[in-house]
Structure 1
Amino acid sequence: MDQPLPQLDKLFDYRVPEDLAGRVRPGCRVKVRFGRRKVSGYVIALKPSTDFEGKLLWLSELVSPEPVVTPEIARLARAVADRYAGTLTDVLRLAVPERRVKVESEPRGEALPVAAPPSDHWKRYIAGDAFLRALRETKSPKAVWSALPGEDWPARLAEAAAATAASGRGAVLVVPDQTDLDRLDAALAAVLGPDRHVTLSAQLGPTKRYRSFLKAARGDVRIVAGTRAAAFAPVERLGLVAIWDDGDESHVDRHAPYPHAREVLLTRADLADAACLVGGRSRTPQAQLLVETRWAVSMTAPRDEIRRASPRIVPVGDESDLERDPSGGTARLPTVAWEAARSALAKDRPVLVQVPRRGYVPAVSCQRCRTRAACPNCSGPLRLTGARRAPVCGWCGTVAAGFRCAECGGNRMRAVIIGAERTVEELAQAFPDHPVVESTGVNRLGRAPAGAAVVVATPGVEPPAPDGYGAVLLLDTWALLTRAELIASEEALRRWMNAVALARHDGTAVVVADGGLAVVQALMRWDPAWFAARELQDRAELGFPPVMKFAALTGPNGEPEKLAADLPSDLGAEAIGPMPVDERTERLLLRVRRRDGAALAAMLAKATADRANAKAEPVRIQIDPREIA
């Protein structure tokens, strides 16, 4: 039933009227009487009898005979709800799109045959050819794939899906965002042929999304690609689940119970005995854990193949580099980076410049004492929006025309972080004979300009160049590396590798960072597996995820502590905090051994239901929170 209350997270039995007996099927939408109201729900199963001792009510209405919750998806939704201490209703709300009556009346189709693709490109990777062969032979291999620089990853995923479909099975492919989905959609059409796959994403709109969903549920297509909600796509005879760039935060759902698409797919692979492919240019510690526990094999390229595919990667950032630089280390664009850009432009090749933040100058400080400049009205951070504009508060929008430092009284400012807009201005002056364009989340370029041009982009929205970039410059790297987050270095490497992978194999990538740092070494050698293993070992020693299981409890002051106090002591949950979120809200972390993660989730779900029955203040629960700081 569509009742998200935790104390009602169970199945309820109803009698089926005789006039509906032939049309009600498992998975269809119905309405039932619950209390004094009619509520929506799904038929999970039909049984000849019940063990309920009370009086059974009748189904009130058959909303649609179309089965939209298959038995496999029902099992998956229950498993995901249990893993994340959520409710079945919340998970089904993520899994099943909004109904469109007109779409249900459209004629059914049938799955078209798919030819097995060649495995030439997969032979570049250790165990790559064996992985594709196993898919063709209806086996269920599981692999963590580290893609080479310049790899056409949408085509590789399409080939894996085609190999699966050729064996008569289905595949679900999940990518972070719509831009990635558009690339994968084109690759699937090229490899599979027309009308052999569908895409699922919120940007399709309700009608197109429901049409694609029904095509998969009816078995009209065997291949579904989409963003995170597509992890629940009802595909017949599932043979492969795959996720690209699992470290991207877009894979985490913003609604309760906040599941990660990677964990949904891993759970689904286990339940359906399907193959699994976790791919990306970088590698998360969570993916590395799959390798080290032998749940999956590591699929990487040999060193000589990496050297052929990789651009020249040059670090500039340690003391000796700065001393040798003609600028004396004061220039934001070191001489090595400037020369790499100039050389690429001279060859009529585009240049990519990655900067961490959009805007003009997102953060400023006092020129004299270096104290962060704050708004006189609300103490929020000040920022500059243009070259000759007064600073503006990022919180309340107040224009601080007469800035005075609260610490020393100084009236001059310096830039702490330089954004993409200011970088465009600087590079336009440095390279006046070439166009300089910007790509950010609010103004994303689909493709880089052809020929000699400079593209300034924030992480995640770097547009591909037709023949690759001649040079890639990674600026202000400290802004990523010094973030107060557990995943700072991991996330920095992911963003850098995604940018450097867009370079030509004979191009140059310059990272303005100390070459002695482990994360920079991993970039230079293009060895994300080594860095992921190192991160995993460090986290094991410190007791951090994914080696340990964490849960975040957020609620009114005092309530998370009360909920944690109700947990049984033999669970061994260690409380960290609470930490204030704001004046009225706090956040408490619970840590247990990984093997006790399921027990922790079950206890938290039960405690939440008990608190709801007692009408206590609600506490939000997040299992495996992305941020634990």
Structure 2
Amino acid sequence: MTTVARVVLDSPLPQLDRLFDYRVPAELEDDCVAGVRVKVPLRTGARMSDGYVVEIVTEGEYPGELSQIEAVLSPVPVLAPEIWTLARAVADRAAGVASDVLRLAVPPRQVRAEKAWLARDTAWSPPPVTAPPVTGYADGVLEAVVTEHGRAAVAAVPQPVALGDADAPVWVPGWAATLAQAAAHTVAAEQSAVIAVPDFRDVIDLERALLAVMPPERVVRFDAKQTNGQRAKALLQARTHPVVAIGNRTAMYAPATELGLIAMWDDGDASFIEQRAPYVHTRDVALVRAAQSGAALLFVAHARSTDVQRLVELHWLQDVAPYRVKTPKVIPTVQQTGAEGFAAQARIPSSAWRAAREASQHGAVLVQVASPGFGTGLVCAECGERAHCRVCGGPLGSPHRGATPQCRFCGALAVGFRCPTCGNGTVKPVGQGAQRTADELGRAFPGTRIVVADGSRPLDEVPARPSIVVATRGAEPSVPGGYACVLLLDGEKMLAREGLRVQEDVLRFWTNAAAKSAPGAEVYLVGIGGRLASAMALWRLDGPAHDELTDRRELHFPPAVRVATMTGTDEAVTAAVEALGDAVVGPVLGPVPVEDDALPGTVRAIVRFPYAHGAEVAATLKAEVIRRSSTRRVLKGGNRRRAAPTLRVRLDDAEPFSEV
């Protein structure tokens, strides 16, 4: 009887995105099992390719003579069956290639990690977990969602929470405590949980919360800061026992023993958008995986995304809110008079300045600003012309007072800058960034410790002692027990940015910062009035998401519909649009010219389609991509590289709507 291995090739070519049958020679039968890495021949055997064994069968689908597997690269099965199923479904949904998804899910081979895993004590098992109650919500509500494998959109507890021993409490954000307690219920039932969060600060907060309710052997990290060796070790550990896998977007592809819970914190964060093909949002991966596994699904946030709001309004997600929990005391200041002196220069009204001065005497005060650096940009001191980089044309900025101007895009230093308009060599800052705000607050609050936190100076936590923390949006460090006062500046500037999701993003920035305040602390929303200010003051944050989704439905904008972006030659894009037929809704947006150095004459078209037509649209567009890729000509030259693809497809791409 012939043993046949069905192999997925590690190739980005769409025409190779299927399973290939290979004969397993007798000497490799013991090691060649589902999930292992193998080397296999392509076509006549002149070329070799790596791949993964998806399954072992006794009869293949190919009717002809089979080539045999060249080698088993490692006897360790690194591709779990459920991850292959997930990768295949995610790729099909996005008209992509499964091997591109597998590169996100499976790290490169690490021999040391594999040897350690093979030599492990198979009789060892991690300590058991005792599940604590999920606090902040009505008794048993979230526990029931988790244990009954339900689905819920959860409004986060908007204040820091103390976990662990009362004599030495562990202070964590409310959302982290909720997810840790929910995960503890899952692991206590000997099931695994997978939790994805936006960035490293959130990973640290969540890990601290988890370690307060379960032993460290039950927590496994997957994040971008890990080495390939650490990722490989985590992957193998997650396959061995029920654990909680946490991390950024790659964590959603973590293997799991008896998966019982899938959760995301702040799914509207832009860092969940994968930057590599097929560019799938982590939220969509979570939805696919929950449907495949039957695991419980939680989306936790302060300000709900319109994508989750859509699922709530379809009654696909249960709406869960905190019960009898104090909300932040938000005070809009749009009609209040301004302060004087340095406080006015720092854009702080008089009431907020007085509250911050008093709070800074006994605790930490948070000041959220829109931009890093000293100013938002530089202009010629003589004629006022905007200063740009000579290397890439990007805007110049200054990280601090007196620093050499530096490009915000490529980082090049503008030594000896001369204005191309008037020839002047002096620049001055415009706008106010985090560093300039910190300088002015230092003069407004003499003797008070000033701390700056932004992308170049990341901080996870600052002590709960008198200080003023100036942080850019999303970079706010935590304080044990919460901030004594919070000032939200530059709101008008944040809302003035063009884009489809500006209101969603700004509401997330504000609510996430406000939730870092101590119970009873005042939160000043500076310069903002109207509907958003009312939603913040009343802490009724589902209203803006509902209103925004209603507007999107009228305009046929995502997430009311799905979108497909096609880029390539005019002929290829037009043919792809025509192939979709009646699957699209509304008018086709384009084709319009776009810049592409690799393919002159490139155009882009965007089509919108109902969710029910998603599989049809993805399959049709992928077929068009394969047809175009199969006929690409080979360029003349020594390396025999192929010409640029004449058609590229991306589904659910938010970028074309960033300037709506």
Asked whether the equivalents of residues 142 and 296 of structure 1 are also in contact (C-alpha less than 8 Å), the reply is: yes
**C-alpha spacing 1:189/1:372, structure 2 compared with 1 (3 Å):** same
Q: How far apart are the structure 2 equivalents of 1:145 and 1:411? A: 55
SS in 2 for 1:547: coil
- Residue 508 of structure 2 is aligned to residue 486 of structure 1: no
CA drift of 1:134 comes to: 4.6
**C-alpha spacing 1:561/1:371, structure 2 compared with 1 (3 Å):** farther
Name whichever of 504-513 and 590-599 sits farther off.
590-599
Q: How far apart are the structure 2 equivalents of 1:593 and 1:370? A: 49
- Residue 108 of structure 2 is aligned to residue 98 of structure 1: yes
Q: How far apart are the structure 1 equivalents of 2:478 and 2:364? A: 10
Query: What's the counterpart of residue 617 of structure 1?
Result: 644
Q: How far apart are the structure 1 equivalents of 2:588 and 2:244? A: 44
Q: How far apart are the structure 2 equivalents of 1:237 and 1:159? A: 18
Per-residue Cα deviation, 1:490-542 (whole angstroms, up to 9, x for no partner)? 000001111111111121111113221x2222222222222211111111111
Query: What's the counterpart of residue 140 of structure 2?
Result: 129
Per-residue Cα deviation, 1:7-66 (whole angstroms, up to 9, x for no partner)? 111111111111222332111111111132111111111111123122211111111222
- Counterpart residue type for residue 354 of structure 1: Q
Q: How far apart are the structure 1 equivalents of 2:417 and 2:25? A: 73
**C-alpha spacing 1:434/1:583, structure 2 compared with 1 (3 Å):** same
- Counterpart residue type for residue 31 of structure 1: K
CA drift of 1:402 comes to: 5.7
- Counterpart residue type for residue 564 of structure 1: A
Query: What's the counterpart of residue 74 of structure 1?
Result: 84
Q: How far apart are the structure 2 equivalents of 1:275 and 1:331? A: 46
Q: TM-score, normalised by structure 2?
A: 0.86
SS in 2 for 1:168: coil
**C-alpha spacing 1:581/1:344, structure 2 compared with 1 (3 Å):** farther
Unaligned runs of 5+ in 2: 1-8, 161-173, 633-642
Query: What's the counterpart of residue 241 of structure 1?
Result: 262
**C-alpha spacing 1:376/1:612, structure 2 compared with 1 (3 Å):** closer
Per-residue Cα deviation, 1:136-168 (whole angstroms, up to 9, x for no partner)? 4xx211111111211432222121111112223
Q: How far apart are the structure 1 equivalents of 2:142 and 2:430? A: 48
SS in 2 for 1:105: helix
| 1:271 aligned residue (276, 292, 316) | 292
Query: What's the counterpart of residue 456 of structure 2?
Result: 442
CA drift of 1:455 comes to: 0.5
| 1:525 aligned residue (523, 530, 538) | 538
Asked whether the equivalents of residues 573 and 604 of structure 2 are also in contact (C-alpha less than 8 Å), the reply is: no
Q: How far apart are the structure 2 equivalents of 1:276 and 1:336? A: 43
Name whichever of 104-113 and 449-458 sits farther off.
104-113
CA drift of 1:376 comes to: 8.6
Q: How far apart are the structure 1 equivalents of 2:357 and 2:517? A: 15
| 1:514 aligned residue (504, 521, 528) | 528
- Counterpart residue type for residue 544 of structure 1: F
**C-alpha spacing 1:115/1:28, structure 2 compared with 1 (3 Å):** same
CA drift of 1:367 comes to: 8.8
Name whichever of 52-61 and 443-452 sits farther off.
443-452
Q: How far apart are the structure 2 equivalents of 1:612 and 1:14? A: 25
Query: What's the counterpart of residue 145 of structure 1?
Result: 154
Q: How far apart are the structure 1 equivalents of 2:132 and 2:400? A: 53
**C-alpha spacing 1:548/1:503, structure 2 compared with 1 (3 Å):** same
Asked whether the equivalents of residues 393 and 399 of structure 1 are also in contact (C-alpha less than 8 Å), the reply is: no
Asked whether the equivalents of residues 108 and 220 of structure 1 are also in contact (C-alpha less than 8 Å), the reply is: no
SS in 2 for 1:13: strand
SS in 1 for 2:212: helix
CA drift of 1:379 comes to: 6.1
| 2:327 aligned residue (289, 310, 314) | 310
Sequence identity percentage: 37
- Counterpart residue type for residue 565 of structure 2: A
Q: How far apart are the structure 2 equivalents of 1:148 and 1:214? A: 34
CA drift of 1:213 comes to: 0.6
- Counterpart residue type for residue 141 of structure 2: A
| 2:552 aligned residue (536, 539, 543) | 539
Query: What's the counterpart of residue 192 of structure 1?
Result: 214
Per-residue Cα deviation, 1:558-585 (whole angstroms, up to 9, x for no partner)? 4763453452323236421345553645
Asked whether the equivalents of residues 111 and 196 of structure 1 are also in contact (C-alpha less than 8 Å), the reply is: no
Alignment of 1:495-514 (within 5 A): 495-514=509-528
Q: How far apart are the structure 1 equivalents of 2:572 and 2:541? A: 37
Q: How far apart are the structure 2 equivalents of 1:5 and 1:436? A: 53
- Alpha-carbon RMSD across the aligned residues, in angstroms, is 2.8
- Counterpart residue type for residue 22 of structure 1: D
Query: What's the counterpart of residue 89 of structure 1?
Result: 99
**C-alpha spacing 1:277/1:565, structure 2 compared with 1 (3 Å):** closer
Asked whether the equivalents of residues 404 and 411 of structure 1 are also in contact (C-alpha less than 8 Å), the reply is: no
Q: How far apart are the structure 2 equivalents of 1:477 and 1:150? A: 22
- Counterpart residue type for residue 80 of structure 2: T
Asked whether the equivalents of residues 202 and 209 of structure 1 are also in contact (C-alpha less than 8 Å), the reply is: no
SS in 1 for 2:57: coil
- Residue 48 of structure 2 is aligned to residue 27 of structure 1: no
Q: How far apart are the structure 1 equivalents of 2:220 and 2:506? A: 33
Query: What's the counterpart of residue 252 of structure 1?
Result: 273
SS in 2 for 1:43: strand
Q: How far apart are the structure 2 equivalents of 1:621 and 1:108? A: 47
Query: What's the counterpart of residue 180 of structure 2?
Result: 158
Asked whether the equivalents of residues 127 and 215 of structure 2 are also in contact (C-alpha less than 8 Å), the reply is: no
Unaligned runs of 5+ in 1: none
- Counterpart residue type for residue 12 of structure 2: P
Name whichever of 85-94 and 561-570 sits farther off.
561-570
Asked whether the equivalents of residues 375 and 400 of structure 1 are also in contact (C-alpha less than 8 Å), the reply is: no
Asked whether the equivalents of residues 134 and 178 of structure 2 are also in contact (C-alpha less than 8 Å), the reply is: no
Query: What's the counterpart of residue 63 of structure 1?
Result: 73
Query: What's the counterpart of residue 590 of structure 2?
Result: 577
**C-alpha spacing 1:175/1:380, structure 2 compared with 1 (3 Å):** closer
Q: TM-score, normalised by structure 1?
A: 0.90
Q: How far apart are the structure 2 equivalents of 1:101 and 1:583? A: 41
Asked whether the equivalents of residues 132 and 184 of structure 2 are also in contact (C-alpha less than 8 Å), the reply is: no
**C-alpha spacing 1:610/1:583, structure 2 compared with 1 (3 Å):** closer
- Residue 29 of structure 2 is aligned to residue 13 of structure 1: no
- Residue 575 of structure 2 is aligned to residue 567 of structure 1: no
| 1:292 aligned residue (313, 335, 339) | 313
CA drift of 1:326 comes to: 7.0
Asked whether the equivalents of residues 360 and 484 of structure 2 are also in contact (C-alpha less than 8 Å), the reply is: yes
- Residue 123 of structure 2 is aligned to residue 114 of structure 1: no
**C-alpha spacing 1:400/1:500, structure 2 compared with 1 (3 Å):** farther
Asked whether the equivalents of residues 164 and 170 of structure 1 are also in contact (C-alpha less than 8 Å), the reply is: yes
Q: How far apart are the structure 2 equivalents of 1:461 and 1:389? A: 23
**C-alpha spacing 1:414/1:477, structure 2 compared with 1 (3 Å):** farther
CA drift of 1:405 comes to: 6.4
CA drift of 1:553 comes to: 2.9
CA drift of 1:331 comes to: 6.7
Q: How far apart are the structure 2 equivalents of 1:314 and 1:492? A: 16
**C-alpha spacing 1:25/1:478, structure 2 compared with 1 (3 Å):** same
Asked whether the equivalents of residues 446 and 463 of structure 1 are also in contact (C-alpha less than 8 Å), the reply is: yes
Q: How far apart are the structure 2 equivalents of 1:368 and 1:578? A: 43
Query: What's the counterpart of residue 344 of structure 1?
Result: 359
- Residue 605 of structure 2 is aligned to residue 588 of structure 1: yes
- Counterpart residue type for residue 222 of structure 1: V
Q: How far apart are the structure 1 equivalents of 2:447 and 2:629? A: 66
Q: How far apart are the structure 2 equivalents of 1:40 and 1:432? A: 63
Q: How far apart are the structure 2 equivalents of 1:147 and 1:345? A: 27
SS in 1 for 2:70: strand
Asked whether the equivalents of residues 353 and 472 of structure 1 are also in contact (C-alpha less than 8 Å), the reply is: yes
- Counterpart residue type for residue 83 of structure 2: I
Per-residue Cα deviation, 1:85-121 (whole angstroms, up to 9, x for no partner)? 1101111111111211222222154543533423250
